[in-house]
């Protein structure tokens, strides 16, 4: 490798000296083989091929194995990702099915609860109607009983007032005698 560097440095130094000597004449072709460094360039290229072939081949083989390993790793990660995606899609499908089942169960339970509430409300309304009718009936019976008591009290009051005015001692004696006669028979 050191040899390669020395040859490369010497070739550049020679090329710069040749350019200075060509000087100010402008651009032109120099057909002198020794001055144009064709031999030096051929030697450098030959050395590069001879010594660099092993080094460059080794670098290319290492690069190839690195790329192959990276490709295999990427392929493995892709397969893992595909299997993970399939698993997650399966889990998603299961979760969606479970959500649909829960939703259907909730709707069914809501329907049952709604029916139960409506049934209970209907029973409560009927019970309230029955209680109201019973209250009305009992209030009516109470009112009738009160009216009967009042009528009876008024009738007794009137009878007592009429009896007191009509009943004298002779009428009382006749009533007592008649009652005794009825008892004696």
Enter the DSSP assignment of 75: H
Reported confidence tier of residue 7, pLDDT bands at 50, 70, 90? low
Reported confidence tier of residue 20, pLDDT bands at 50, 70, 90? low
**Sequence-ordered list of residues with C-beta below 8 angstroms from that of 36, at least 6 positions apart, any chain:** 18, 30
pLDDT of residue 118: 94
pLDDT in tens, 65-120: 999 999 999 999 999 999 999 999 999 999 999 999 999 999 999 999 999 999 99
Q: What is the mean pLDDT of residues 28-32?
A: 64
Residues 79, 82, 85, 90, CA torsion sign: negative
Total-model pTM: 0.40
Long-range contacts, 46-51 (Cβ 8 Å, 24+)? 47/3, 47/4, 47/7, 48/4, 51/1, 51/3, 51/4
**C-alpha–C-alpha distance, residues 33 and 20, integer Å:** 17
Q: What is the mean pLDDT of residues 166-173?
A: 77
Q: What is the mean pLDDT of residues 30-43?
A: 71
Long-range contacts, 151-158 (Cβ 8 Å, 24+)? none
Q: What is the mean pLDDT of residues 5-22?
A: 57
């Amino acid at each position: 490798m050191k040899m390669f560097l020395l040859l490369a440095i010497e070739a550049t130094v020679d090329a710069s000296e040749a350019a200075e000597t060509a000087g100010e004449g402008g651009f032109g072709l120099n057909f002198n083989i020794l001055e144009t460094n064709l031999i030096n360039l051929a030697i450098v290229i030959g050395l590069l091929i001879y010594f660099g072939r092993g080094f460059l081949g080794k670098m290319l083989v290492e690069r190839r194995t690195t790329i192959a390993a990276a490709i295999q790793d990427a392929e493995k990660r892709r397969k893992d990702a595909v299997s993970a995606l399939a698993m997650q899609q399966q889990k998603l499908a299961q979760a969606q099915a479970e959500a649909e089942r829960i939703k259907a169960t909730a709707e069914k339970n809501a329907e049952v609860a709604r029916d139960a509430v409506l049934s209970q409300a209907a029973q409560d309304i009927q019970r309230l109607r029955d209680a109201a009718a019973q209250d009305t009936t009992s209030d009516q019976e109470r009112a009738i009983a009160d009216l009967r008591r009042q009528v009876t009290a008024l009738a007794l009051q009137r009878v007592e007032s009429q009896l007191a005015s009509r009943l004298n001692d002779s009428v009382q004696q006749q009533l007592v005698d008649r009652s005794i006669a009825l008892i004696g028979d």
